[in-house]
Amino acid sequence: MTRLTGGLIDREKPLDFTFDGRSYSGYAGDTLAAALMANGVDLIGRSFKYHRPRGVLSAGSEEPNALVTLRDGARAEPNTRATVAELYAGLTARSQNHVGSLERDLLAVNDLLSPLFAAGFYYKTFMWPRTFWEKLYEPAIRRAAGLGALSMEPDPDAYDKGFLHCDLLVIGAGAAGLMAALTAGRAGAKVILADEDMRPGGRLLAESDLLNDAPAHEWVRAVRAELASFPNVRFMPRTTVFGVYDHGIYGAVERVADHLPTPGDGVRQTFWRITAKRAVLAAGAIERHIPFADNDRPGILLAGAMRAYANRWATLPGRAGAPVAVFTNGDDGHRTARDLVAKGVPVLGVVDTREDAQAFGDYEVFRGATVTGTRGRRGLRAIQITRGATATWHDVGALGVAGGWNPNVHLASHHRGRPVWKADLLAFVPGADGPKGLFPAGAVAGRGGTASALADGVRAATTALADIGMTAPKVALPEASDVPHAQAAFWHVPGKRRAWVDFQNDVTVKDIALAHTENMRSVEHLKRWTTLGMATDQGKTSNIAALAVMAEQTGQTIPGTGTTIFRPPYTGVSLSVLGGGDTGKHFRPTRLTPTHDWAAAQGATFVEVGPWMRAQMFPRAGEGHWRETVDREVTAVRSAVGICDVTTLGKIDVQGADAAEFLNRVYANMMATLKVGRVRYGLMLREDGHLYDDGTCARLGEDHFVVTTTTANAGAVYRNMEFARQCLWPDLDVQLISTTDAWAQIAVAGPKSRALLERIVDDTDLSNEAFPFMACAALTICGGLRARLFRISFSGELAYELAVPARYGHALMERLAERGADLGVTPYGTEALGVLRIEKGHATGAEITGQTTASMLGLGRMVSAKKDALGAVMSRREGLAAEAWRLVGLKPVGGDGPILAGSHLFTEGAVRTLDTDQGWVTSACYSPNLGRHIALGYLEHGDTRMGERIVAANPLEGQEMAVEVVSPDFVDPEGVRLRD
Amino acid sequence: MLIPHPLLGARDAQEFTYLGDASLMDRPDPNGPEAEAAFCDYVFLRDNPAGVHRELWFHEQGDRSWLVVTRDTVTHEILGAELARDVKRGAQT
Of A687, A688, A722, the CB nearest to B64: A722
Query: Residues of B with CB below 8 A from A877's CB?
Result: 36, 40
Q: Residue ranges per domain, chain A?
A: 1-150, 158-285+407-467, 289-403, 495-561, 591-648+742-837, 650-738, 884-979
Tens of pLDDT, residue by residue over A850-860, are: 999 999 999 99
More confident residue, A44 or A136: A44
Report cis status (omega within 30 of 0) of the bond before A419: no
Mean pLDDT is lowest, of A268-277, A517-526, A692-701, for A517-526
Amino acid at A531: T
Interface residue of B36, B61, B83 to substitute, partner A, most A CBs within 10 Å: B36
Which residue of chain A has the CA closest to B58? Answer: A719
Which residue of chain A has the CA closest to B68? Answer: A727
Helices of type H across A477-567: 509-517, 523-530, 543-554, 558-561
User: What pLDDT does A312 receive?
Assistant: 98
Tens of pLDDT, residue by residue over A507-540, are: 999 999 999 998 888 888 888 888 888 888 888 9
Average pLDDT over residues A421-435: 93
User: Could you tell me the pLDDT band of residue A107, with boundaries at 50, 70 and 90?
Assistant: confident
Query: Residues of B with CB below 8 A from A715's CB?
Result: 60
Q: Do A246 and B1 touch (CB under 8 A)?
A: yes
Q: Residue ranges per domain, chain B?
A: 2-92
Which residue of chain A has the CA closest to B73? Answer: A246
Average pLDDT over residues A165-183: 98
Q: Is the pLDDT of residue A223 over 70?
A: yes
Which residue of chain A has the CA closest to B3? Answer: A247
| Domain boundaries A650-738, CATH class | alpha beta
Q: What are phi and psi of A936, to 5 degrees?
A: -115, 155
Does B36 contact A at CB distance below 8 Å?
yes
Distance CA A763, CA A782 (A): 10
Per-residue CA distances from A623 to A495, A618, A641, A744 (Å): 82, 10, 20, 30
Q: The domain at A495-561 falls in which architecture?
A: Orthogonal Bundle (1.10)
Tens of pLDDT, residue by residue over A321-360, are: 899 999 999 999 999 999 999 999 999 999 999 999 999 9
Dihedral over alpha carbons A863, A864, A870, A875 (to 10 degrees): 50
Distance CA A460, CA A445 (A): 10
User: What pLDDT does A142 receive?
Assistant: 65
Mean pLDDT is lowest, of A146-150, A406-410, A943-947, for A146-150
Q: Do B24 and A727 touch (CB under 8 A)?
A: yes
User: What pLDDT does A116 receive?
Assistant: 66
User: What pLDDT does A416 receive?
Assistant: 84
More confident residue, A130 or A893: A893
User: What pLDDT does A150 receive?
Assistant: 85
The CATH code belonging to domain A158-285+407-467 is: 3.50.50.60
Distance CA A302, CA A304 (A): 5
The answer to whether the A1-150 and A884-979 domains have the same CATH topology is no
Q: Do A687 and B43 touch (CB under 8 A)?
A: yes
User: What pLDDT does A451 receive?
Assistant: 96
Q: Do A722 and B58 touch (CB under 8 A)?
A: yes
Fold classification of A591-648+742-837 is Gyrase A; domain 2 (3.30.1360)
Average pLDDT over residues A88-116: 83
Of A247, A248, A873, the CB nearest to B35: A873
Per-residue CA distances from A969 to A500, A837, A925, A965 (Å): 77, 9, 14, 12
Average pLDDT of chain A, as a whole number: 94
Q: Which residues pair with A165 in a beta bridge?
A: A275
Does B79 contact A at CB distance below 8 Å?
no
Q: Do B88 and A730 touch (CB under 8 A)?
A: yes
Q: Do B30 and A868 touch (CB under 8 A)?
A: yes
Tens of pLDDT, residue by residue over B2-32, are: 999 999 999 999 999 999 999 999 999 999 9
CATH fit for domain A289-403, picks 3.40.50.140, 1.10.12.10, 3.50.50.60, 1.10.3720.10: 3.50.50.60
User: Could you tell me the pLDDT band of residue A389, with boundaries at 50, 70 and 90?
Assistant: very high
Q: The domain at A1-150 falls in which architecture?
A: Roll (3.10)
Calculate the CA A616 to chain-centre distance.
Answer: 33
Does B69 contact A at CB distance below 8 Å?
no
Fold classification of A884-979 is Elongation Factor Tu (Ef-tu); domain 3 (2.40.30)
User: What pLDDT does A971 receive?
Assistant: 95
Does B74 contact A at CB distance below 8 Å?
no
Q: What is the DSSP letter of A728?
A: I
Tens of pLDDT, residue by residue over A442-478, are: 999 999 999 999 999 999 999 999 999 999 999 999 9
Query: Residues of B with CB below 8 A from A688's CB?
Result: 43-44
Tens of pLDDT, residue by residue over A566-621, are: 899 999 999 999 998 888 888 888 999 999 999 999 999 999 998 899 999 999 99
Of A687, A688, A728, the CB nearest to B25: A728
In chain B the first and final C-alpha atoms are separated, in Å, by: 33
Average pLDDT over residues A26-50: 94
Query: Residues of A with CB below 8 A from B85's CB?
Result: 726-727, 730
Tens of pLDDT, residue by residue over A701-720, are: 999 999 999 999 999 999 99
Burial class for A845, CB neighbours closer than 10 Å (0-12, 13-18, 19+): middle
Closest Cα of chain B to A284: distance in Å?
27
Mean pLDDT is lowest, of A265-269, A793-797, A946-950, B50-54, for A265-269
User: What pLDDT does A97 receive?
Assistant: 81
Tens of pLDDT, residue by residue over A633-663, are: 999 999 999 999 999 999 999 999 999 999 9
Tens of pLDDT, residue by residue over A803-835, are: 999 999 999 999 999 999 999 999 999 999 999
Q: Do B2 and A247 touch (CB under 8 A)?
A: yes
Q: Which helix (H) or strand (E) holds A651?
A: strand A650-655
CATH 2.40.50.100 assigned to domain B2-92? The reply is no
Average pLDDT over residues A56-81: 95
Which residue of chain A has the CA closest to B76? Answer: A246
Which residue of chain B has the CA closest to A728? Answer: B25
A317 neighbors A301 (Cβ within 8 angstroms): yes
User: What pLDDT does A124 receive?
Assistant: 64
- Report how many Cβ contacts below 8 Å link chain A to chain B: 71
Interface residue of B3, B45, B64, B74 to substitute, partner A, most A CBs within 10 Å: B64
Q: Is the pLDDT of residue A1 over 60?
A: no
Q: What percent of chain A has pLDDT over 90?
A: 83
A241 neighbors A248 (Cβ within 8 angstroms): no
Burial class for A112, CB neighbours closer than 10 Å (0-12, 13-18, 19+): exposed
A660 neighbors A674 (Cβ within 8 angstroms): yes
User: Could you tell me the pLDDT band of residue A191, with boundaries at 50, 70 and 90?
Assistant: very high
Average pLDDT over residues A87-115: 84
Q: What is the three-class DSSP state of A721?
A: helix
